[in-house]
Structure 1
Amino acid sequence: MRSLVGLILVVVAATFYLYSLSLYLPAAPRRRPPPTGGEHERAAEPEQPADSAEEPRRLKFPSDLDELRELAELLQFYKTEHTGYVLLLFCSAYLYKQSFAIPGSSFLNILAGAIFGPYQGLLLACVLTTVGSTMCYLLSQIFGKHYLVNLFPDKVSVLQRKVEENQDCLFFFLLFLRFFPMTPNWFLNMSAPIVNIPITFFFCSVFIGLLPYNFICVQTGVMLSEVSSLDDLISWDRLLQLLAIACMALLPGALIRRFSQRRLKLDVQSQNGIIADKKVQ
């Protein structure tokens, strides 16, 4: 009971912090007035106060591409003069989602590419994914072991058995699970401390194993911020970029799959998103 109360307190405190951070937006950067024909025309226009600000807009997690594009434009606008605030807000929101296993991190990866560009966005996505997953690991280790075993006894036991069977190449087994998610990432993050996966192996496997996925999402965000019409998408530069993304996604997975055929014990099939033993006919 104490662990449940402690977890609720952590969730409430993190939610209050993130809500407060998103609610108290700094002053919006001033938009430059559009050029006019001359001094006579400027004098004829009604004067507007220089410090007039737009109505405050509340931030929320995007649920579709339209909301994602709108949020990206808003944060790009704020980033011109409030880079530190935008970075803090983005990191806080990302860690909140990852730590409490809330779906939708792919939208934040795309948002990272749209706001911070391909290189900084990829670095942020990889670091935040790894740190957030590790925080989820620690929260499960401190508060959730008993509850997770009671909720998913069969799934935890199957994962425990597979971890024990692959102890001699545990790191590559974890990489395989990240490249080919027979077990959902949220479940693997929470169950890892229960099945005795060392935190160092867990940390490194998340960073490396989710790198292709993060790369694809970030590049999608970069293209989303740059493409304004179909003509921009159909070009040699864009096609080469898409080819590079495909190679980045397929090559590591192919290498891990080839290694797994020789060394890993993976006589499993996917059942409702969780690994389960194959039935021998």
Structure 2
Amino acid sequence: MRSIVGLVGVLSAATCYLYLLSTHLPAVSPIPSDNTDEDSEVKEYRLKFPSDLDELRELAETLKFYKREHHNYVLLLFCSAYLYKQSFAIPGSSFLNMLAGALFGTWEGLALTCLLTTSGSTFCYLLSSAFGKEHVIRLFPDKVALLQRKVEENKRSLFFFLLFLRLFPMTPNWFLNVTSPILNIPLTLFFPTVLIGLIPYNFICVRTGSILSKISSMDDIFSWGTLAQLLAIACVALLPGALIRRYSQVALDGAEQTQDRGQHHKAQ
């Protein structure tokens, strides 16, 4: 019960902060009216998380308008919204990645999303460690058990295994974030695998956001060709781990054989 109260308290505080930040927009110069050069109109803007491409385009145009005079405010708002979603395992990071591309360009947007993804995932890890372990196990016992077995099987090459899971997310990233404390994955291993492993995915989304006006559906982003590229990168990341496991086993078998011979000679 205490863990639920603590989590609800953190979520409520974060929600209030984000609500106040998004509803108290700074003043901007009015938009000139199409009817006359002298008249002007002030449009009321209501910010919310986008749920489709049309809402994403509208939000991008609104924030671009504010960004001309209030760059730091838009940056703070974007970072706060991104961390909110990542920290509380709320789906929709692809839309925010595209929004980063539309607002900040490909390379600045990529650097920003990689930093925010890693930071938000780390916050999610810490929240799960502090408040959610028992609830995650209770809600997803089979999935946690399966992931636990995979982690044990790849213990000698855990870095590359985690990197593979991030590069080609067959298991959702939010689930990896909340289960990592349960699987006893240390932060020193968790942090770099998130930072490196999500670069290709973030790049695809951010690059798409930089040409947002040309995108007609989400299928244009995650095509079969794109998925094949992610799978190829993931397999490359998994290869070193497979080699480590193989040669570790060979070395272990060799050591056991040497020990058996030594014991045999002593017996003689």
Shorter-chain TM range is 0.7 to 0.9
Asked whether 1:26 is paired with 2:7, we answer: no
Matches within 5 A, 1:45-84: 47-48=38-39, 54-84=42-72
Is the alpha carbon distance of 1:80 and 1:46 closer, same or farther for their aligned partners in structure 2, counting shifts above 3 Å? closer
| Cα deviation, residue 255, structure 1 | 1.3
SS in 2 for 1:121: helix
Structure 2 residue ranges without an equivalent (≥5): 217-225, 247-268
- Which letter maps to 1:15? T
What residue is the counterpart of 1:179 in the other structure? 167
SS in 2 for 1:112: helix
SS in 1 for 2:211: helix
Question: Whole-Å Cα distance in 1 between the matches of residues 167 and 28 of structure 2?
Answer: 41
Is the alpha carbon distance of 1:168 and 1:228 closer, same or farther for their aligned partners in structure 2, counting shifts above 3 Å? closer
1:179, 1:209 within 8 Å by CA — same for their partners in 2?
A: yes
Question: Whole-Å Cα distance in 1 between the matches of residues 47 and 33 of structure 2?
Answer: 26
| Cα deviation, residue 65, structure 1 | 0.5
Question: Whole-Å Cα distance in 2 between the matches of residues 203 and 157 of structure 1?
Answer: 22
Q: Count matched residues.
A: 238
What residue is the counterpart of 1:253 in the other structure? 234
Is the alpha carbon distance of 1:119 and 1:83 closer, same or farther for their aligned partners in structure 2, counting shifts above 3 Å? same
Matches within 5 A, 1:1-281: 1-31=1-31, 47-48=38-39, 54-224=42-212, 227=214, 249=230, 252-259=233-240, 261-263=242-244
| Cα deviation, residue 169, structure 1 | 0.8
The percent of aligned pairs where both chains have the same amino acid is 63
Deviations 1:219-258 (A, max 9, x none): 0001115x499xxxxxxxxxxxxxxx89974663241244
Question: Whole-Å Cα distance in 1 between the matches of residues 87 and 26 of structure 2?
Answer: 26
Question: Whole-Å Cα distance in 1 between the matches of residues 78 and 116 of structure 2?
Answer: 10
Question: Whole-Å Cα distance in 2 between the matches of residues 83 and 221 of structure 1?
Answer: 18
Deviations 1:119-166 (A, max 9, x none): 110011100000001100000000001111111122112211211221
- Which letter maps to 2:163? L
| Cα deviation, residue 179, structure 1 | 1.6
Question: Whole-Å Cα distance in 2 between the matches of residues 14 and 254 of structure 1?
Answer: 38
Question: Whole-Å Cα distance in 1 between the matches of residues 174 and 6 of structure 2?
Answer: 20
- Which letter maps to 1:178? R
2:160, 2:238 within 8 Å by CA — same for their partners in 1?
A: no
SS in 2 for 1:158: helix
| Cα deviation, residue 259, structure 1 | 3.6
SS in 2 for 1:59: coil
Is the alpha carbon distance of 1:252 and 1:78 closer, same or farther for their aligned partners in structure 2, counting shifts above 3 Å? same
TM-score, normalised on structure 1? 0.78
Is the alpha carbon distance of 1:113 and 1:247 closer, same or farther for their aligned partners in structure 2, counting shifts above 3 Å? farther
SS in 1 for 2:210: helix
TM-score, normalised on structure 2? 0.81
2:98, 2:210 within 8 Å by CA — same for their partners in 1?
A: yes
Is the alpha carbon distance of 1:247 and 1:195 closer, same or farther for their aligned partners in structure 2, counting shifts above 3 Å? closer
2:157, 2:242 within 8 Å by CA — same for their partners in 1?
A: no
Structure 1 residue ranges without an equivalent (≥5): 37-44, 230-244, 266-281
